[in-house]
């Protein structure tokens, strides 16, 4: 058993490592974010609800990437992941809340079907609860659980992968062609995630933890039945930029071309 002193000096040495955890990192935008962080010197935890998929992604990324099982809707899995990181390094520099779903139906549902079914006047509240469980409550539960480890880091950041679709101000602009896609299951879940981002940024502004929301561009992934128009490399650019920014501000919401999005 290492003595308390040994443990302290070991964790002091290890604390030089930059540690990141990306949820939903086994594919899509999350995989690309994890890969970029790994290429930039982070030890990245590839968090995935299916450990096998996360392990395959970690192998593909190589370097010091490692897999951890984490379904963001499962409090026990969250606790286990926190314990694992606490034991491995004792701190976390970067938490990327990327895991997200756009609906609760089968994988072949088209974007048009989803948007039509999830309009506020007719949306299934059960489907809304399922999506919010991952996109909103899951992201907050993971954040709350990792805050002690983020506080242990010299400097830390939480990046919430949101969507421009969640911007209330943009949706109130009649000139915005995307506003017709604002629905209550997915779109409003990102509005709620934005609100959580603001609440955390305000609460933590005197601390070592910065909190930002970012939106990828419209990226071809399973989330939109691969109907997105950008590659994951392009789509993940802004999440990666904000995650890697050492001196960047807290409390921002930015998009694919670094533009500031209104909340």
Query: Which of 19, 55, 72, 78 touches ligand NAP (CB under 6 A)?
Result: 72
100 to 139: interface string for ligand NAP, x by CB under 6 A: xx--------------------------------x---x-
Q: Is 23 in the site for ligand NAP (CB under 6 A)?
A: yes
Enter the DSSP assignment of 66.
E
Nearest CB to ligand NAP, comparing residues 11 and 227: 227
Q: Which of 217, 199, 225, 200 is nearest to 101 (CA)?
A: 225
Nearest CB to ligand NAP, comparing residues 90 and 238: 238
Give the length of the chain: 263
Burial profile 124-160: b = 16 or more Cβ within 10 angstroms, e = fewer: eeebbebbbbbbbbbbbbbbebbbebbebbeebbbbb
124 CB-near residues (< 8 Å, 6+ apart): 117, 118, 185
What's the rounded Cα separation, in Å, for the pair 212 and 220?
23
Nearest CB to ligand NAP, comparing residues 30 and 90: 30
Q: Is 167 in the site for ligand NAP (CB under 6 A)?
A: no
What's the rounded Cα separation, in Å, for the pair 227 and 111?
7
Q: Is 28 in the site for ligand NAP (CB under 6 A)?
A: yes
Supply the minimum distance, in Å, between the C-beta of residue 235 and ligand NAP: 6
What's the rounded Cα separation, in Å, for the pair 84 and 101?
26
Taking CB atoms, the residue at the shortest distance from ligand NAP is 28
Nearest CB to ligand NAP, comparing residues 15 and 53: 53
Q: Is 221 in the site for ligand NAP (CB under 6 A)?
A: yes
Residues of this chain that interact with ligand NAP (CB under 6 A) are 23-24, 26-30, 48-50, 53, 70-73, 98-101, 134, 138, 161, 163, 215-216, 218-219, 221-224, 228, 235
């Amino acid at each position: 058993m290492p003595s308390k002193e040994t443990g302290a000096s070991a964790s002091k040495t290890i604390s030089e490592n930059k540690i990141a955890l990306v949820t939903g990192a086994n594919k899509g935008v999350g995989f690309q974010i994890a890969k970029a962080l790994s290429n930039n010197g982070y030890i990245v935890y590839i968090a995935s609800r299916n450990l096998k998929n996360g392990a395959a992604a970690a192998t593909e990324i190589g370097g010091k990437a490692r897999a951890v099982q984490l379904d963001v809707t499962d409090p026990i899995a969250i606790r286990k992941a926190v314990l694992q990181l606490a034991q491995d390094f004792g701190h976390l520099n970067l938490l990327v809340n990327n895991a997200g779903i756009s609906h609760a139906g089968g994988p072949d549902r088209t974007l048009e079907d989803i948007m039509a079914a999830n309009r506020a006047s007719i949306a299934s509240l059960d489907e809304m609860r399922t999506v919010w469980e991952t996109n909103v409550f899951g992201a907050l539960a993971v954040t709350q659980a990792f805050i002690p480890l983020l506080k242990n880091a010299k400097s830390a950041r939480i990046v919430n992968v949101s969507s421009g679709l969640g911007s209330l101000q943009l949706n109130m602009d009649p000139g915005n062609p995307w506003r017709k896609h604002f629905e209550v299951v997915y779109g409003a879940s990102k509005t709620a995630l934005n609100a959580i981002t603001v609440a955390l940024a305000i609460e933590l502004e005197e601390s070592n933890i910065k909190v930002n929301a970012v939106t990828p561009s419209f990226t071809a992934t399973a989330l939109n039945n691969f109907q997105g128009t950008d590659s994951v490399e392009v789509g993940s650019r802004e999440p990666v930029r904000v995650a890697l920014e050492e001196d960047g501000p807290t409390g921002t919401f930015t998009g694919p071309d670094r533009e500031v999005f209104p909340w």
